[in-house]
Amino acid sequence: MSTIPDFTLPHGLRVPPLGRRLRLGQIGGGRSSVVGAWHRDGARLSNHWELVAGLLSRDPARARLAAADQIIPDDRAYTDFRAMAELEAARADGMEAVCICTPNNSHYELAAHFLQAGFDVILDKPMTSKLADAEALARLAQTSHGLLALTYPYAHHAMIRQAQGLVAQGAVGTIRQVVVEYLQEWGTPATVDDAPSAAWRRDPERVGRASATGDIATHAYHLLKTVTGLGITAVRADFHRCGGARAMEDTAFIKLQMDNGAPGQIWVTQAAPGNHCGLRLRIFGERGGLEWDQEFPEQLKLRLLDRPEQIFWRGHGGGMTAAAERLVHLPRGHGEALSDAWANLYSEIGVAIAARRSGVSLASGLVQYADDAAGLDGVRFVEACADSAEANSAWTELVR
């Protein structure tokens, strides 16, 4: 285990890699932002990070107010990203990484600027609103000093690591079909799109060619690939507006062709009353099936042919793999949930950054996060879905 230094242990339990917290700045995430709080909670709970600077609004008064909420002093409450990069780089205690939680169309410019300025960049998904931008950003990330990470938090639940391990061990045998759904209700009344917090999600200028697909199908796609280890070669997408007359799709049925020949499906909708964060994964193999539901993240169900159903519960022992136990923070039954997944995400990224700086090589697969390649892959998926939907739901190859 000589390649696994102590600092690879999960959030909050052991001394972080550098003997101090990494200094984080945030762009986006003002008072009306939901996503911004998730990033901050994960960073805090991980104990690997401290938030030292913010560009939380372009309006100076709002920027200062939102920064004050986070105990960020006025002089580090920025309203211009170039100034932020320049001034923080100049400080001895300046921020080292930036997390970007703005609408999709700003991702490229912001991420490219901070990468080029030598910062590590933590970027909300999807990577960009345009494929060309994603390709350019991925190329840039390859040559940057800093690391580029995308935030797909659901993949950081301990039981997703457990599912990944069980599949890799062959628990279910060869995978024969996979179905992922992600259902929400917030978009049921079309009028909700008039609210500022929702408006940008249906604006092609800001989100790109797809709405719900980029917003939530990307999570489903990433989760499916993370757990199964399979690639997707082609998609066929039906876009619908089930919440009423609105600018872009709120619902998509996306049929998948997987690279082992098995079929798959992703179904997402934001117009399903009674569903809130209904991300559910079902994998069926030749010997068994696996099922996980984000709203009950502590359990993973394994059903082998001619055996009692087995439920793995997050915790130490009880059939957990070592890799999944790394992400276990609270004892079994003492619930972890979404902020714990975000904390795992920020721990993993923190460890990766520290290892990179320290010249330590981590055992393959030990520390996981979505890198630039995964980010580009996500945008290619959205583009292929949009192509398919525009082509009357024709099967469309996924460039890889």
Q: Which of residues 220-279 bind its own copies (CB under 8 A)?
A: 238, 240, 242-244, 251, 253, 255, 262-263, 265, 267, 269, 271-278
Per the DSSP assignment, residues forming a β-bridge with 246 are none
Contact characters 69-108, its own copies, x per CB under 8 A: xxx-------------------------------------
Site for its own copies contains 59 (CB under 8 A)? no
Site for its own copies contains 5 (CB under 8 A)? no
Site for its own copies contains 53 (CB under 8 A)? no
Q: Hey, what are 361's tokens? A: 């090589």
Site for its own copies contains 347 (CB under 8 A)? no
Which ranges in 248-295 belong to alpha helices (H)?
Answer: none
Could you say which of 24, 28, 30, 40 contacts its own copies (CB under 8 A)?
A: 40
Site for its own copies contains 124 (CB under 8 A)? no
Closest CA to 379 of 161, 89, 175, 132: 132
CA distances from 96 to 22, 67, 219 (A): 7, 18, 27
As a whole number of angstroms, the distance between CA 210 and CA 250 comes to: 9
Could you say which of 1, 2, 19, 92 contacts its own copies (CB under 8 A)?
A: 19
Contact characters 157-196, its own copies, x per CB under 8 A: ---------------x---xx-x----xx--xx-------
Could you say which of 339, 357, 373, 387 contacts its own copies (CB under 8 A)?
A: 339
* Closer by beta carbon to its own copies, 128 or else 236: 236
Could you say which of 2, 90, 306, 364 contacts its own copies (CB under 8 A)?
A: 306
Site for its own copies contains 293 (CB under 8 A)? no
As a whole number of angstroms, the distance between CA 172 and CA 256 comes to: 20
As a whole number of angstroms, the distance between CA 64 and CA 360 comes to: 38
Site for its own copies contains 145 (CB under 8 A)? no
As a whole number of angstroms, the distance between CA 364 and CA 226 comes to: 14
Q: Hey, what are 19's tokens? A: 């003997």
Site for its own copies (CB under 8 A): how many residues? 93
Q: Using an 8 Å Cβ cutoff, are 105 and 31 in contact?
A: no
Strands (E), 11-55: 22-28, 49-55
